[in-house]
Every structure is written in C-alpha cells, then in structure tokens.
Amino acid sequence: MRSPARDKTPKSNVEFSRAMPFPAPDPNTVLARLEAVYGVTEWSPRFGAMDELIACILSQHTSDVNSLRAFDNLKRQYPEWEAVIAASVQEIADTIRSGGLANSKAARIQEVLQRILSLEGRISLDCLDAMPDAEARAYLMALPGVGPKTAAIVLSFALGRPVIPVDTHIFRVAWRLGLIEKKLGEARAHDSLQAQIAPEIVYRFHVALINHGRAVCKAPRPRCGQCVLTDLCRYFHEQSIQNPTE
C-alpha cells in the first residue's frame, strides 16, 4: 500500500516563524538600552541588614508609601528591636497599621526578631558579613516567613551582594523578554535569572527592569509602542505572529 504523499507546499512566513524558537536576549544589551532611557542607578544602602529585613516584611502586599510609613512609625515607637519583642502583638500591630495586614505582620516580625536573638545572642545580622552569598541566603530563608525575594532584597539592598530579587515587575519583564519561562513562577525564577547576569550589573539590572515594568511593560497590557526592547522580546515577537495586522 502506497503511503500518502507528503505535502510539499512551502511553509508560509508565519508558519516558519512559529517553528523557529526566539532567542533569549543578552542581558547586557537589555541593560544598556534601558539605562539609556531610565538612567544608571548605582548601589547605595538604604538601611542596614536588620532594618532592611523588617522593612521588607512590612512591604508585603502594600505600597512603598504605606510600608515606609509603617516602618518609620515602628522605629519611632520602638528605637530598639528588643523593645519590639517586649511589646504585645496588638501594640505592634497598632503601630504598623498603615502597612496593612498589621496583625499578621506584627506577629511575624516578633517571630523573626526572637529567632535571630536565639541564634545570635543579640538582634543583629552582622553574622551575614562573613558568609558567602549562598550561605547568607540560606540563613535568611531559614527565618520565619522569609522567602527568596525577601532574602535577596536584604542581601542586595543592604549588603550590596550580587543577588537579584525577583518581584512581580521583574518576573513579568523577564518572562516576556524570554530570559526565563513563565511557568517557573516568581519563587523559582531567582536562580534561573541570576545565572544569566554578570555579578557587577546585578543591582543595576534589577532597578532597570523594575523601572521598565512600572513605566512600559505593564500588566495586563504592555505599552509595546513605547518599548526600546521589542526586537529582543519574545512576547512581542509572538504577539506579532498571532496578530500580524495589529
């Protein structure tokens, strides 16, 4: 029995484009283009490691304005971290109310402070200074409720380590560009993205992607017409194939 003849009709340009994988962009090229738009941000510490950790806990599920107001209120009411442990959860919650989820955050802050006190004999993260990045990250992630993003923020923002925190903006821009797969999720994206970025540009890359995510690569509808990365972007490439007339 003769097998059916194969269709020798040449593939259309659209079919060919769909069959060809779109290459991931070079992070250095991405950074150069974004810094040409948003400027270069050099690292400088905002807080020490201990303050940064607590500020990060307060920042969860709220705006920067509200979380910083809560942090300022907390530091004003309790200048020493030992006083936060000594206070009641309700007193702490009332102090940080502007940051949202005050009751759960108050309890979590006390748990973290108590754990550090039991480990170090004092409330300090100076121990991180002598640790390699991986060990310092593991130490932080062993604290109650501290995940990869919070650990990376402390290491990057407070200590200047070449560790990239992946928040919702960075995750969205990174998977749209094709640097990571969307299915990874934010929690697992840190290591995958980290492996692609030279240590000396990690902080600048982090800031540049956040700026771009807030200004142009928005969710759910990115402003591709204003983007300087469209020729490097897998998302733009795929959307152009699916909607060639748009």
Report the topology of domain 21-41+165-242: Endonuclease Iii, domain 2 (1.10.1670)
CB 143 within 8 A of CB 116: yes
pLDDT value of residue 242 = 77
Instruction: Kindly state the average pLDDT of the residues 78-87.
Output: 97
pLDDT value of residue 14 = 46
pLDDT value of residue 110 = 98
Residue percentage of the chain with pLDDT more than 90: 83
- Same CATH topology for 21-41+165-242 and 49-158: the answer is no
Query: Closest Cα to residue 48, out of 154, 127, 144, 133?
Result: 154
Count of C-beta atoms within a 10 Å radius of residue 238: 15
- List the chain domain ranges: 21-41+165-242, 49-158
Instruction: Kindly state the average pLDDT of the residues 205-232.
Output: 96
183 is catalytic: no
49-158 has which CATH code? 1.10.340.30
pLDDT value of residue 188 = 86
Per the residue annotation, which of 8, 11, 105, 149 is the catalytic one? 149
Give per-residue pLDDT as tens, 125-183.
999 999 999 999 999 999 999 999 999 999 999 999 999 999 999 999 999 999 999 99
